[in-house]
Amino acid sequence: MTRCVEISLIIPDNEAATAAETLRRLGFPGATLTRADLYRLEVDAQGEGPGLLEAIRRIEELFNPNKHALRERGTAPEPGEVWIHEIAHGETEPREGPVRIAGRTLPGVNGIERFTVWRLADADGAPATHETVTRAAETLLCNPAFQVASIR
């Protein structure tokens, strides 16, 4: 089973603000932009319960309740989103056994991928069109030399 967990900032995000201003200067009028980290987890029966989210909340390197919000979400990009994934260098075979983050084992997690989610909206707050998201990814948000963009 696949589960996706999104961790977003609840404090001002200077990186997203800078990228949004750059997009506006590149001709994306009224574009608003938010950013989040997304973890796509391959879980077994042990990882299907609510304990997984609590385990992630206890990993300070990923989640700080003073500056982050955590939510479970769908396993594909939503309208107005692009997921950016770094191309793996080196390791070509998946590792066997449980996943460890910051020295801690995540119970029931057998695989993990990390993405950066960029969420674009128009001046009215509606999700940006597929064409706009694609153009923003190609222009600024994704470096094809070492990243791959996934758009719905």
Digit-coded pLDDT (tens) for 103-152: 888 888 998 999 999 999 998 899 999 999 999 999 999 999 999 999 98
Distance of CA 79 to the CA centre of its chain: 14
Q: Among candidates 11, 7, 24, which has minimal Cα distance to 62?
A: 7
The mean of the pLDDT values for the chain is 90
* Cα-based torsion angle of the residue sequence 107, 110, 115, 119 in order, rounded to the nearest 10 degrees: -60
Rounded to whole angstroms, how far apart are CA atoms 9 and 7?
7
**Confidence at residue 91, expressed as pLDDT on a 0 to 100 scale:** 53
Rounded to whole angstroms, how far apart are CA atoms 151 and 149?
6
Check pLDDT > 80 for residue 24.
yes
Contact indicator for 4, 74 with CB cutoff of 8 Å: yes
Contact indicator for 77, 142 with CB cutoff of 8 Å: no
Rounded to whole angstroms, how far apart are CA atoms 34 and 132?
15
Check pLDDT > 60 for residue 95.
no
Percent of the chain surpassing pLDDT 90: 72
Check pLDDT > 70 for residue 94.
no
Residue type, 109: V
**Confidence at residue 97, expressed as pLDDT on a 0 to 100 scale:** 65
**Confidence at residue 89, expressed as pLDDT on a 0 to 100 scale:** 60
Rounded to whole angstroms, how far apart are CA atoms 136 and 116?
14
Contact indicator for 141, 86 with CB cutoff of 8 Å: no
**Confidence at residue 69, expressed as pLDDT on a 0 to 100 scale:** 98
Question: Between 97 and 95, whose confidence is greater?
Answer: 97
Rounded to whole angstroms, how far apart are CA atoms 104 and 89?
23
